[in-house]
Amino acid sequence: MASSDVARAPRWLFHLVRAEDLGWGSDGRYAPASLARERFIHASYKDRVEESARLYFEADELPALRVLAIDPRRLDVPVEVADTPRGPMPHVHGSIPVDAVRVIGLDALDVHPDLVTGTRIAFATSSTREVPCLIL
């Protein structure tokens, strides 16, 4: 699957991180240490997140893990889907902007959608009210 396939049938991308390692740079972007080493950020599709958690984290760490649910439509860096022995795994080739992410716990994964749906709406605030505006 190529990165163009992600745009045709977008699925949420999920990245696991220890709560103490989660942080945003002064530029408003998430860039874990692994990005510098490997040149991409490991991600999973929803059906592989719990398996990834069990494979790469100790059992006592699981309750404190955070899951970054990443909207691929909001990324300004390439996503390549690698064929792995565990199935297709998305690799995000760059830092992730904060507005592309929802931070959830593993316990909230069951109710999070797999497919990205809807429009991208943001709210601009003024001193008197919030005004919805469409972001293309």
Give the start-to-end residue ranges of the domains of the chain: 3-134
- Burial label for 71, CB within 10 Å (0-12, 13-18, 19+), is middle
| Beta strand pairing call for 101-105 and 29-30 | unpaired
> pTM value?
0.81
The pLDDT of residue 98 is 97
How many of the other CB atoms lie within 10 Å of CB of 101?
21
Q: How far apart, in whole angstroms, are the C-alpha atoms of residue 26 and residue 101?
A: 16
Tokens of 108: 């909230």
The pLDDT of residue 95 is 98
The pLDDT of residue 118 is 80
* 135 pLDDT more than 60: no
Q: Is the CATH number 3.20.170.20 carried by domain 3-134? A: yes
Q: How far apart, in whole angstroms, are the C-alpha atoms of residue 34 and residue 129?
A: 41
| Beta strand pairing call for 41-42 and 87-92 | antiparallel
- Residue-wise pLDDT for 65-91, tens only, equals 999 999 999 999 999 999 999 999 999
Q: Using 50, 70 and 90 to split pLDDT, how confident is the model at 103?
A: very high
Q: Name the DSSP letter for residue 114.
A: S
Q: How far apart, in whole angstroms, are the C-alpha atoms of residue 55 and residue 49?
A: 10
